[in-house]
Amino acid sequence: MNILGLSAYYHDSAACLVRDGRIVAAAQEERFTRKKHDPGFPSHAVRYCLREGRIGLADVRYIVFYDKPLLKFERLLETYLSFAPKGVSSFLAAMPVWLKEKLYLKRLLWSEFLSVDGGVSAGQLPPLLFSEHHESHAASAFFPSPYESAAVLCLDGVGEWTTSSAWLGEGNRLTPLWDIPFPHSLGLLYSAFTYYTGFKVNSGEYKVMGLAPYGEPKYVKAIYEHLFDLKPDGTFRVNMDFFDYCTGLRMTSRRFDDLFGGPPRTPESPLTQREMDLARSIQEVTEETMLRLARTVARETGAQYLCLAGGVALNCVGNGRVLREGPFKGIWIQPAAGDAGGALGAALSVWHQLEGQPRKTEGRDGMSGSFLGPSFSNDEIERRLQAAGARYRRVPDERLFEEVAGALAAEKVVGWFQGRMEFGPRALGGRSILGDPRSPKMQSVMNLKIKYRESFRPFAPSVLRERVSDYFNLDSDSPYMLIVAPVKESRRHPMTDQQKGLWGIDLLNVPRSDIPAVTHLDYSARVQTVHRETNERYYRLLETFEALTGCAVLVNTSFNVRGEPIVGSPEDAYRCFMRTEMDMLVLENCVLDKRDQKPLEQDTDWQREFELD
């Protein structure tokens, strides 16, 4: 039985194909269209899923959408009525889209699917089902997890009405326990501070998390006293006098500005100590809320394991604290925890709950390392590189890993394009940019010369699973780079008296450990454990690098530049390579040295031919 899951029309549109309970393919639309967080109908992602499954739409039993638009419309109407006459301009801006398209979503989806597969008629289209938003999140968290039973927490901005929900997963069933309704939202609270500190909502939240260690938690008391009433059990209420997201086009109100000493930071303007302190403060509030909620669901369910999804579950610092300080034996986080993962959850929910099919946990999760996107053969890559006029060498495996490891050890920056593309926001060794973590200058070089992004942003370490506890205070799987752990004390460099006098961003260039490129200001790291079973080639590269250098860790960041999605095709990778100061590009067995390349032409036939393949 083929089930096609769909997420669209908000942000991070995606498609997923599930066959007899197994995830065959999943991809975000942005990787094909090159529009970051593309919210449109995921036609390219749908075509890819059908192609990977070698089927047409007529072979699909169900199409499942990840939320219920009529419930969302009900929430919008009730919210506008509750706050009227405030928000009339926002209401007038939103209504035409709803009246023209979103209220008639089923009709819109049918027309889109007919254009995706021209060989199918309207009568051959499968039934179209709609899952609730938080049920899709919960299903994406529990059903692919390795646990037979677990508590489930879903925390995000808002679905239809729900912003936070708790569930009990047992076998092939999810039982809802309780929820917190809009407008009281931990995700929207964090997004409000994202907006206020000058970053983009729904994409800049991880920047706030990365900025937090540079500040002090001086605003925590003000947040609790004025904005956020946090109960001992982790439930909460938000004081809407300080926010404008219900009715306006801003996240925060003038009272918010007054409380924190001025208007929001202008995007791209210099960061000040105020933004750093605000980031630290909201991060601490978020972590405390996550911990209290985790302890509550453990007490209520008696579960030994916890599964997490929703945008807040991408807060890997909070996840790390839940793992270390919470009551659970283990936690599992959906790697595509945001709305893209809703497509996957919706499809799995139909298989297990509507069709009543059992789960098979078998001691590992069902995500295949999250390598669920397209892959390219060496012959296909060569054809595309030749069309681009690129100069490359095809290197056999027996020499490839030694050559790449040697380049990394010489402090070269390497683009690494191997196997299937990752599903979710993290590059996990399929579409990655790699560096030597021992280099004190690597973080700065990769931020400013490769990624073209803010210098304060930390990079993540990839480490052989068997060696993780040699480097970090962690001895559990973290395959999806969603858990932050402290660097081992034995590897840390103590600060000198002179360095202790530094403050804020001035601390950036102080080496914190013997792997300084992946050690954040507070001696933490966002760890990815690499497993031979799910990514044999990346595992082999790490093994080779360790044999050469004695270090079982690599710097791993996503293969993209600021403002663009992670690369999806060989052409995307080549363009990114040529437009940055990357030294080497490795596309399967094809190796490109930057010194050998001629300048990139902006408009070539190969770009037009392959761009949306």
Q: Average pLDDT by consecutive 10-residue portion of the chain (613 residues)?
A: 96 96 98 96 97 96 94 82 72 71 80 84 88 98 98 96 97 98 96 96 93 95 98 97 84 95 94 95 98 98 98 97 97 97 98 96 91 98 95 97 98 98 97 96 86 82 98 96 97 78 68 92 95 97 98 97 94 96 97 92 46 34
Set out the domains of the chain in order of their start, with CATH numbers: 2-137+337-365 (3.30.420.40), 179-333 (3.30.420.40), 378-610 (3.90.870.20)
Q: What is the pLDDT of residue 87?
A: 67
Q: What is the pLDDT of residue 605?
A: 41
DSSP assigned state of 352? I
| C-alpha distances in Å from residue 489, one per residue of 319, 468, 470, 512, 519 | 21, 14, 11, 11, 12
Q: What is the pLDDT of residue 100?
A: 66
Give which of 12, 10, 23 is closest to 344, Cα–Cα.
Answer: 23
Yes or no: say if 414 and 431 are a contact pair by the CB < 8 Å rule: no
Q: What is the pLDDT of residue 250?
A: 85
DSSP assigned state of 281? H
Q: What is the pLDDT of residue 28?
A: 98
pTM (2 d.p.): 0.94
Q: Any idea how long the chain is?
A: 613
Phi-psi region of 249 (alpha: psi -120 to 50; beta: other; left: phi over 0): alpha
Tokens 């008639």: give the residue.
104
Q: What is the pLDDT of residue 101?
A: 67
Q: Which amino acid is at 260?
A: F
Q: How far is CA 74 from the centre of its chain?
A: 29
d(CA 510, CA 449): 19
At a CB cut-off of 8 Å and minimum separation 6, what does 307 contact? 138, 141, 142, 145, 147, 150, 151, 152, 153, 169, 331, 332, 333, 334
Alpha helix locations (H) across 313-416?
316-325, 339-349, 378-388, 397-409
Yes or no: say if 494 and 441 are a contact pair by the CB < 8 Å rule: no
At a CB cut-off of 8 Å and minimum separation 6, what does 43 contact? 29, 112, 115, 116
Q: What is the pLDDT of residue 606?
A: 39
Question: Per the structure block, which two tokens stand in for 609?
Answer: 């031919």
| SS3 (DSSP) at 50 | helix
